[in-house]
Amino acid sequence: MTTTLTPTPVPTGTSTRRCGRLPSWGLSAVGALGLAAAGALPWLVNAYVISLAATALVMAVLAMSAQLLVGWAGLAPLGQAAYLVVGAYTAASIATATSLGPLQLLAATAAGAVAAAVTGLLAVRARGTTFLMVTFGLGELVHAAANQWAPGGSEGVHAPPVVALPGLPPMVRPGWVYLYVLACTLVIGVAVAILVRTRFALLLRGIAAHEPRVQAAGHHTGWMLLAAYTLAGGIAGAAGALAIAVTRYVSPADAAMGISALALAAALIGSGSMTGACAGAILLVAARDWASGLLGGHGPTLLGLAFLLLAYLPRHRLAGLTTRFPRRRT
């Protein structure tokens, strides 16, 4: 787990990098158990926890989008919520024509990707902390633009319940919505898992470790980072469509920094692994919504404490970040 990036590309599909000590069957057993528990959740807990779990899944997808940039390309984004909101507004506008969920999901993914491709032209010029600040600025500008121009203004828009497959009734009960979101999250997760095992993802790690060397090998790193940013935007857009399925409502406030910061923190908790990012997102949503409910409010304080913990606790530095912020190598 000392993550200095080795020049020889080791990860050929197995997760040797992360879980060297667990036997391989152990990992899949834990995964299967977790999946079974996630699937059985609607029969185990009350409606409030179910809706929280669905929100946590949406954030997990957004965290995967952030992780693609942090953990692979070595660029920490603080504006991923912008593409979530683009996706959510797209899904909400499509919902007037069709309430078919998968169609909304595809449209939102495409819209998020297009928005990321356009704004990414600006973002991928920057590196390190400047990238963080530029994406933060972009997120806030989308927030402002949504207030001005989006349908519904600052009030936001409502969307009708989503239909999972043609012929099925609209999903109103939280349990069904949760199961639909879980299924979509798994599909997105599989797609992301395939993506991060491609040669493209390896090259992204290469850019994070040493950009000039990848350039010298004949790759146009700027375009590759833009492609990564676009893909991340698409994933965030998909998260937006899922958010519409869960809350049936989107407002410009969803583009606020809080959501982006949560996604980034989740990705950092997951230090370089997609599963870790999802776990981090679920943990942070649990802290913000569930634990703060028990403590009588103060979700932001809990989240702030989580950020402070994350900053001060010694944790494994990511391969990308140690070189991208070139001060200390662990």
Query: Considering the complex, what minimum distance in angstroms separates the CB of residue 253 from other proteins?
Result: 9
Could you give the CA distance from residue 219 to residue 288 in angstroms, rounded to a whole number?
Answer: 42
- Residue count at the site for other proteins (CB under 8 A)? 46
Question: Are 185 and 60 within 8 A, CB to CB?
Answer: yes
Three-state secondary structure along 69-125? Answer: HHHHHCCCCCCHHHHHHHHHHHHHHHCCCCCEHHHHHHHHHHHHHHHHHHHHHHHCC
**CA distances for 115 relative to 51, 102, 119, 161, 237, angstroms:** 28, 20, 6, 25, 9
Distance of CA 87 to the CA centre of its chain: 13
- Cβ-based nearer residue to other proteins, 73 or 177: 73
- Cβ-based nearer residue to other proteins, 117 or 126: 126
The tokens 């776990």 sit on which residue?
279
Smallest Cα–Cα separation from 67: which of 329, 277, 306? 277
Q: Which of 115, 306, 319, 323 binds other proteins (CB under 8 A)?
A: 306
- Cβ-based nearer residue to other proteins, 94 or 207: 207
**Contact between 145 and other proteins (CB under 8 A)?**
yes
**Contact between 293 and other proteins (CB under 8 A)?**
no
**Pattern of binders to other proteins over 93-132, x per CB under 8 A?**
----------------------------xx--xxxxxx-x
**Contact between 137 and other proteins (CB under 8 A)?**
yes
Question: Are 208 and 74 within 8 A, CB to CB?
Answer: yes
**Pattern of binders to other proteins over 231-260, x per CB under 8 A?**
-------------------------xxx--
**Pattern of binders to other proteins over 66-85, x per CB under 8 A?**
----------x-x-------
The DSSP secondary-structure symbol of 165 reads S
Tokens, residue 9: 């590309």
Tokens, residue 57: 């899944």
Q: Give the interface segment with other proteins, choosing from 8-16, 88-96, 183-191, 321-329 (CB under 8 A).
A: 321-329
Interface residues toward other proteins, by CB under 8 A: 76, 78, 121-122, 125-130, 132-134, 136-138, 140-141, 144-145, 148-149, 256-258, 261, 265, 268, 298-301, 303-308, 310-312, 321, 325-328
